Structure 1
Amino acid sequence: METPSILRASLLAASLGAAVAASAQGSPAITSVTSTNVAGSVNGAGNQTIGWQFTIAQPISVSRLGYHDLTPDTELVTTHHVGIWDAGGTLMTSTTVLLDDPLTDGFRYHTLAAPIVLAPGTYNLGASIVDTPSDDPALADVYYFQATAITTDPLITFVGAAASDDGTGFVNPTSITIGSLGRFGPNMAIEAVPEPATIAAVGLGVLGLLKRRKKA
């Protein structure tokens, strides 16, 4: 339940191969959270979806979805469904974060079967939480709320905290508190989508290199 807590937060051809491999996993959208408040649910009932709303001004690619792990030395207590909904309520992509998925900067991430490209617009990122939540990180996968500061990847603009009603399960979290720095259960790994002109220029460069090699 969200009450103050003393717990602390602390592409083309060969020459493109290395760059693609280096960025294939993307970078966290939320890179840091400063908060002393954690919760296992919004009102104590649980079985709902919590997360946050964001906007993007240019296309981005999402390769992984994650959930926060306050106790990284142990596995998550339960699995979490994590998804992204567009402004019209369409579920754009989703996956299940497993107990022992790889950990990056306090979040366990599950790689999507295929990256998804999001067009400029407004989106909700949400994650399911259990029916019998607890605010004890030894018993539940708690999330941060009422943060005093956050740092985001420049590709996104944070809008506010999001939640669905108690007992609704994994659904679009449409209750948005604009400006509220929370609910940082879910996260995502993102990267910019190259402009067509950039891809074309790189492609021509690769073709030129291949021609020179063939002549040699």
Structure 2
Amino acid sequence: MKKTLIFALVGLSAVAMADGAAITSISGGTRFVNYHAGDTPTDPGMVGFKFNVNANTNMTHLGIWADNDTSGLDEEHQVGLWRVSDGALLASAFISNADVLEGDFYFEALGSSVALTAGVDYIVAAAYWFGGLDGYISEGTYGTDSNVNLVNAVFPDAEALGFVMPGGNTVGNAGRVGPNFKTDAVPEPATMAVLGLGAAALLRRRKKS
């Protein structure tokens, strides 16, 4: 019975803690392929969004939008995560159509997860360039993980192209969504209650047996 209890609780926990995408859906908005006319594949413009989380969690994957034109994702894009307070680069990945497609995004697992602290602002941004074949969405309506808050869209300074944290902020625009990420899911209170009730029920059954 002890083994049954352990396996049951592990199973419930696994369901509750599956990785979740920060951006879950996109509707509306406008598709662009770059922000500045002067950016190139070697000196791209980094676009994305500033965000924070409600509860501590771990980032496990970085992602890129699969694009909605007829050819899908054509190019490899570097995606990065920065902490706003000190500009520290916390994670990066090169993502292409060889990575895992989940819904409208390709994702690549990080070599090691990155801790995200509640209330701290971060930026996730992806490289795009003039003449590129792939696009991102600006001023769309985005479905998000309940633990993730979008603050505003970000864009590159014309004097600071390349793989750097974008310094421009567009207040009133939730995000330029090309980049995405996944985290360890944070259980909702209702989920935690179900886990607690399940554990209590299993323990009562164990006492009776």
Aligned-partner residue type, residue 102 of structure 1:
V
Structure 1 unaligned residues grouped into runs of 5+: 1-12, 135-139
Deviation at 1:133, TM superposition (A): 2.7
Judge conservation of contact 1:53–1:124 (CA < 8 Å) in 2: yes
2:76 matched to which residue of 1?
A: 79
Deviation at 1:106, TM superposition (A): 0.7
Judge conservation of contact 1:45–1:133 (CA < 8 Å) in 2: no
RMSD: 3.1
1:111 matched to which residue of 2?
A: 109
* 2:162 counterpart of 1:169: yes
* 2:136 counterpart of 1:150: no
Q: If the length of structure 1 is used for normalisation, what is the TM-score?
A: 0.72
Deviation at 1:193, TM superposition (A): 8.1
Q: Secondary structure at the match of 1:192?
A: coil
Structure 2 unaligned residues grouped into runs of 5+: 1-5
1:192 matched to which residue of 2?
A: 186
- Pair 1:73–1:133, CA change in 2 (3 A): closer
Deviation at 1:155, TM superposition (A): 0.4
Judge conservation of contact 2:150–2:175 (CA < 8 Å) in 1: no
Give the one of 36, 40, 44 matched to 1:43: 36
For this pair of structures, how many residues does the alignment match?
186
Structure 1 residues 162-207: Cα deviation after superposition (integer angstroms, max 9, x where no partner): 122246211111211122133101001122289xxx9xx99xx8xx
- Pair 1:114–1:55, CA change in 2 (3 A): same
- Pair 1:122–1:36, CA change in 2 (3 A): closer
Identity of aligned residues (%): 25
Deviation at 1:15, TM superposition (A): 5.2
Judge conservation of contact 2:32–2:136 (CA < 8 Å) in 1: yes
Deviation at 1:17, TM superposition (A): 4.7
Structure 1 residues 7-60: Cα deviation after superposition (integer angstroms, max 9, x where no partner): xxxxxx755654565567611111122224101001333312110001223212
1:199-210 correspondence runs (5 A): none
Aligned-partner residue type, residue 96 of structure 1:
F
Deviation at 1:72, TM superposition (A): 8.4
